[in-house]
Amino acid sequence: MGQLYEKDMSGCGIVGFMSENGKVIPGDRVITAMASMHERGNGLGGGFAAYGIYPERADFYAFHMLLDHPKAKTETEAYLKSRCSIEMDEPIPTRRNELVSDPPILWRYFLRLKPESAQDGDEEDAIVQMVMEINAKIEGAFVASCGKNMGVFKGVGYPEDIGAYYRLDEYQAYIWTGHGRFPTNSQGWWGGAHPFSLLDWSVIHNGEISSYGINKRYLEHFGYQCTCFTDTEVLAYMFDLLIRRHRLPIEIAAKIVCAHFWDEIERMDEKQREMFRTLRTVYASALVNGPFAVVIGHANGIVGLSDRMKLRPLIAARDGDMLYIASEDSAIREICPKPAQIWMPRAGEPVIGLLKSPQVETPASMRRLELFQMQLSN
């Protein structure tokens, strides 16, 4: 009798780690961590995000493209050239792996935006618009990542096989995240694997976002187009909206996405109660519901966050300047056998790691919570 196939609704494995001093870490470490959680996936998706991998071209937007056919590549290049100058383009290096089948054309472009292409002088808004248009209008083209000095490497397969296929052991990064997928509400395809990325944001996710519909409609009001047919995409766009465009601190963005229960808010002191009442009212459609654990990467750090009921596991650890976040203790201990500190973060409370010397200029949106509270009180 054949083995019965059942979806494991608590599946998916996630891991993220960083050096807060900005030291680079070889890519074989993240592959090793993900391999220890092999059983949390089913071979329908694996992927990684890496920060600091293009230091010689750190001023260029690095577009990692998944292209289904040569026509999609031709149309994408024509579109990019109409808005950008291309410093260099090349195939994304891979090595043969029999366990990774039917890959699309994998290509990367290092771009500078033409001055006339910027919307009201805002380069990043123009890059976001380009990504939305490519994904929505060029058949067979998908932007896996578009940030500076970072990249996303993902596909259909187990994460350790995807990592080997992309030759991640040849890269070094100060932040790594990894994901093994067990799709619960969408198909497994190369673009649908995690991480999901926009500019320097990347998101890996274990769980299911039941508020996807309202989150998607809310984001569409701000020009974002969700075309990936998977719920996690809204998280990457939501953090871009809240932090880059609305200039909110990371801590506040996390508490909008994963808001306090109303009865918790009512028990707060007056100042806190007013702040969180306002946030829940103004950003009601940005609240994310459902069981989830996520790791969010950005140029200056990582954030780990679980839902308010903690229906998906999340473990954190520190050792020296290293911060680790993962679905399982084993994934951390596989690469850091004796961490100085290891703990289970409280439900809904973010674990935040930041570079001591930021790799990019730190905007007001990345400042600490105290500044936001001061502004609110004034």
Catalytic residues: 12
Q: CA 309, CA 104: separation in Å to the nearest integer?
A: 39
CA 131, 135, 141, 145 dihedral sign is positive
Q: Which strands form 175-180's sheet, in the order they lie side by side?
A: 150-155, 46-51, 175-180, 13-19, 322-326, 315-319, 341-343
